[in-house]
Structure 1
Amino acid sequence: MDEMFHHTMVNSMIPRSDLQAIIEYKHQMKVIQLNLQRWTRYYEVGVEEQLWSIEVKEKLSIKTSDEKQYAIYIQ
């Protein structure tokens, strides 16, 4: 994503309003990635310390599996 962003910025004339929107979306994507990393770590600690119920473990396993399949699909 960063290479595409840089290429677009260098090789295109983008209106200021569009550039601002691109920067805001890029920021939002990074915030989402950081939140995912944080909650993944919370989950891992909860599993290690056996703080999570079986239902939570199963739901997160299914969600993680779906996300991995989606990531493979979009690549």
Structure 2
Amino acid sequence: MDDQDILMVSEAQIAESFDADGLMLKPLTLFIKTEHPDVIERELSVLGFFSISTSTTPEKTPMYEFTLSPLNT
């Protein structure tokens, strides 16, 4: 089995979550297939741009849902 992480997010959701200057306006949900969700969450947290909530998906794959919320809300 390969050990690559796979990120899934819709282009429309990205466009709706950020303004033209790159300011995060509303939460953005990322689906990430990974064997290392703790590493992903730690690295996202280190950026300091948003708060993060994490949950697993009901599938049998190692799929995690990361919701990034702007700190200014």
TM-score normalised over the length of structure 1: 0.24
Structure with greater Cα Rg = 1
Richer in strand (by share): 2
Richer in helix (by share): 1
Greater RCO, 1 or 2 (C-alpha within 8 Å, sep 6+) = 2
TM-score normalised over the length of structure 2: 0.24
